[in-house]
Chains A and B, each alone.
Chain A
Amino acid sequence: MTRAPARRRTELGLIFLVVILTGGLYALAGFGKAGDLPADMGPFLGIIFALLLVGHVAMRRLAPNADPILLPTAGLLNGIGYVFIARLSTHEARLQAVWTAVGMAAFVATLALVRRARDLERYRYTFAFLGIGLLLLPLVPGVGENINGARLWVHLGSLNFQPGEIAKLALAVFFSSALVERADLLSKATRRVGRFLVLDPRYLAPILAAWGLSLVIFLAENDLGSSFLFFALFIGLLWVSTGRTYYLGLGAGLFAIGSYLALNVIGHAQSRVQAWLNPWAHPSTSGYQIIQGEFAIAAGGLFGEGPGQSNASHIPEASTDLIFAVIADELGLMGAAAMLFAYLLMVGTGLRIAVRCERQFEKLLATGLSLILGVQTFVIVGGVTRLIPLTGVTLPFVSYGGSSLVANYILLAVLLRISHDTETPRPTDQIPELYGTGAASL
């Protein structure tokens, strides 16, 4: 227990650093844009510090042994994102500030409600139905809404919400628990077909059904980025839980078939791929977004144009899909690479938590959540830099958008909860339970 205060002290120190860094960036952006300190410099510093402090205090009370790096890193990305959103639109900045507070509340609530990560395992079917239900919600007439060709939105009154963001987490929980249960069965071929031993499809069926259904829903909603993310998550977890490399081959094959179908069936996908391969063919329509993003990134050079000093007004979706282009423009290769490092740090920390876990379910869940963070970042940054086709997913913690921010704070809380569980020495009176729960740790 002596490690707990040390870890939390580290966290607090890092939080101070984050406040100084984001405060400095906010001041620079104000100078760059208007030639003066932002008028709300004081409130900005106060609020960002207060929010992180709330998270920190909650950590001290609810998960004192958890990793000290994740919360400050998320806060840093969130702060950088806010500075750039504020630099693009004061209206969106105000909303993002509210969403950040909601996200932090969700973070604390998750820590408080999920006292042990293993509890989640018991509700696997609840999470499965919750996930699929949330995914279906935008397709319900009168509730769902099409924005930019993708049907991802649900509006309740004046509030817009992307339920897919939360669904990802729910389904990650479901996959983890379902896969842990069947890991042995899935890793051994038990049924003979002709000369070959193959997997018994009975064991795979429910998982494949859930995966297929959610994939179909994603495709129906035209959310290609999330589709890919979801697919990668499923295959990744399957591989990690079974240790069978042929699942990666199976994944590659399924991905090829899926891509072929998507390209031939969904016009949206086709135009995205064409815009990726040759944006210059239609520079003012389908290629416009990618080309403007590339121009912005190129203008950044090594050190960037300086916060607030570029002309971001011709970049479409600058605060959401293309926010990384604005950041690369104003902070340059240095700033953009530093941001990639921050994500890598978070993903690495998440995977380290997974490695240290003793129980399979937490191990798999931590892997899945880290994978979501890493793959989502890759999908959007790769899309903006034209490494892969551009699909509209958010840059975690940075892009403007409430649902994504809240979902990511919940993800963070679950990861930290797992970390705390793992790092807490078990009281001796719980040892019998260890033997009671079966083969997991043996």
Chain B
Amino acid sequence: MNRQIRLLGLGIMVLFVALFIQLNYLQIVHAKALEANPLNSRAVVQEYTAKRGDIVSADGITLAASVPTADQFKYLREYPTGALFEQVTGYFSFIYGSDGAERSYDKVLTGSQSPFKLPTSLSGLRNLLTNRDQSQSIILTVVDKLQTVAEQQLAGRTGTVVALNPQTGAILAMYSNPTFDPNLISGHDLTKVQANYKALTRIPGGVFAPGGYEQRWFPGSTFKVITASAVYDRQPALAAKTYPTLGALALPDTINRLHNFGGEVCGGQLPELFTVSCDTGFGQIGLDLGASALASEAGSFGFDQTPPIDLPFAVQSSFPSASSFTQDLPGLAYSAIGQQDVQATPLEMAMVAGAIADGGKMMTPHILDRVTNSQNQVVSTYQPKVWQQATSPATAAQMTTLMLSVVNSPQGTGVLARIPGVAVAAKTGTAQTGTGKIDAWFIAFAPAVDPTIAVAVLLPNQPSQDEYQGGTLSAPIAKAVIQAYLSSGAAPAHLAAAP
């Protein structure tokens, strides 16, 4: 009997060795293949279930937070402000990935960016064992109050408001319609999320491409800021040239003529042309400057470069290459007034206003102010950086004068942006889209001395009713945003002041 019992023991040991071999196969040999299996959602779920810190507005409103759940995803990402901040925070969805700050600051929010260190303290050891409280929160430069003003001013109309601090590049507001509530696709009921997503993709205007930095329009007359800067920077003599008073400008190589908007007749020297936004005058200035001067001025103002904003998928604003005008001089005249193939994002045009406001310096635009850890201690603070020198301080000063007259001169196109006691510098734009509709632009900064806010407002595809719709439709919105910011409360001290 004992022989059989020993053999039985041997048999059971063989069975257990088989188990051990199978474990080795599953956990070591075959583990990579199983991990890579498309049916294996563990890695995706793991990434998705990592605890994320909050996203908080500059004025302390929670924009995104992770709420613990009992399901396999562990945390539900919630956006208490709904659609208001979607184009800044973006979304965090199991099926559709992430966008906005959720995407660009993903590793900061989960804390996985902190380099692996061997624990040197008890709390370090604890972190290694728990791997849980590495999440970090980000506090944005975007101000909830200002964002709300932008939303209210747009009142549901398709359009975009971008406001930034010209001295730091901090984005203060970035709101555009159409937008959507990110809670719709961050939920854990995946069938519902899919249905919601499908419905969102059917909304015209593209809710998944934020109007502020992922879509482009003809900048129209707001581009004259760059054309005028080119005069001071590259051919100052033209500033003293008197342009003939015309209703339409004869163009080279064609019988077509460049008409002023609505049959208006205008002319004179640069300040006069700028104040009333004279298309014939600026068309001729473009021809006088030449293609390479205008193209390189556009380049120094950030055209044809991806803006270095800390948000994903920002698109370039575009100005045609100088060589493309050799066979198309009429195109050069149209480009000088922001038409033809010139296209810009509202972010770019706000940065153009910001560059004039800040003595020609274009600051790197950013939405991050600081990062805090789970104990609410500041881990790092964003340090403002100059992106590029758009123009000289002297030109910026000249341009400030011109932009002030747009608002303050009785003939100015931007008189609706006047704010009692505050010097507002601005430029209107009423771009023709070629479909009988116009894009109403307004870019501005204030106060003229030591400016703290630069704004771009765009209402695209407005019915063409009168000639200065940039001034009538968009200027009041810009004014409201500037007023809200400059009035105490909306401007947190550390954002308003230069560093």
Contacts and interface: CB of A to CB of B under 8 A. Distances in A.
Interface string B442-458: 00000000000000000
B22 A385 contact: yes
A159 B386 CA distance: 73
Contact of A332 (B27, B42, B129): B27
Contact of A240 (B5, B39, B41): B5
A203 interface: no
Most A CB within 10 A of own CB, among B1, B30, B34? B1
B45 interface: yes
B9 A243 contact: no
B28 A333 contact: yes
B216 interface: no
Contacts of A260: none
Contact of A297 (B27, B39, B131): B27
Interface in A1-60: 28, 31-32, 34-36
A385 B23 contact: yes
Contacts of B20: 337, 340
A363 B27 contact: no
Interface in A348-378: 348, 351, 354-355, 360, 363-364, 367, 371, 374-375, 378
A294 B8 contact: no
A63 interface: no
B322 interface: no
A383 to B, nearest CB: 10
A29 to B, nearest CB: 10
A311 B42 contact: yes
Given A337-B23, A344-B13, A348-B9, A32 B129 contact: yes
B40 interface: yes
Given A295-B40, A301-B31, A340 B6 contact: no
Nearest to A304: B27
Given A299-B42, A333-B27, A351-B8, A31 B129 contact: yes
Contacts of B26: 294, 297-298, 328, 385-386
B27 A328 contact: yes
Interface in B21-71: 22-24, 26-28, 30-31, 34-35, 37, 39-42, 45-46, 49, 71
B74 interface: yes
Contact of A386 (B22, B27, B41, B129): B22
Interface string B108-132: 0000000000000000001001111
Nearest to B126: A31
B8 A382 contact: no
Contacts of B6: 351, 355
A417 B23 CA distance: 35
Given A348-B9, A378-B15, A378-B19, A240 B30 contact: no
Interface residues of A, number: 54
A295 B35 CA distance: 7
A280 B40 CA distance: 12
A306 interface: yes
Contacts of B18: 382, 387
A77 to B, nearest CB: 15
Query: Is chain B's binding surface mostly helix, strand, loop or mixed?
Result: helix
A239 B74 CA distance: 53
Interface residues of B, number: 42
B3 interface: yes
Nearest to A284: B39
A360 B1 CA distance: 9
A337 B18 CA distance: 12
Nearest to B131: A309
Contacts of B30: 298
B27 A31 contact: no
A207 interface: no
Contact of A236 (B8, B22, B37, B40): B8
Contact of A387 (B19, B71, B132): B19
A62 B2 CA distance: 27
Most B CB within 10 A of own CB, among A241, A291, A295, A309? A295
Interface string B186-208: 00000000000000000000000
A306 B126 CA distance: 12
A243 B6 CA distance: 12
B194 to A, nearest CB: 17
Contacts of B2: 355
A295 B72 contact: no
A313 B16 CA distance: 28
Contacts of B3: 243
A340 B31 CA distance: 20
A347 interface: yes
Contacts of A364: 1
Given A298-B26, A298-B31, A355-B5, A311 B49 contact: yes
A137 to B, nearest CB: 30
Given A31-B129, A295-B34, A386-B22, A239 B72 contact: no
A314 interface: yes
A105 interface: no
B5 A367 contact: yes
Contact of A328 (B5, B8, B12, B23): B23
Interface in B465-494: none
Contacts of A236: 8
A295 B26 CA distance: 9
Nearest to B29: A298
Interface of A: 28, 31-32, 34-36, 236, 239-241, 243, 280, 283, 291, 294-302, 306, 309, 311, 313-314, 328, 332-333, 336-337, 340, 343-344, 347-348, 351, 354-355, 360, 363-364, 367, 371, 374-375, 378, 381-382, 385-387
6 contacts: A35-B133, A297-B26, A311-B74, A328-B27, A336-B27, A387-B22
The 5 A-B residue pairs with the shortest CB-CB distance, nearest first, are A313-B72, A298-B34, A374-B12, A35-B132, A240-B4
Interface of B: 1-6, 8-9, 12-13, 15-16, 18-20, 22-24, 26-28, 30-31, 34-35, 37, 39-42, 45-46, 49, 71-72, 74, 126, 129-133
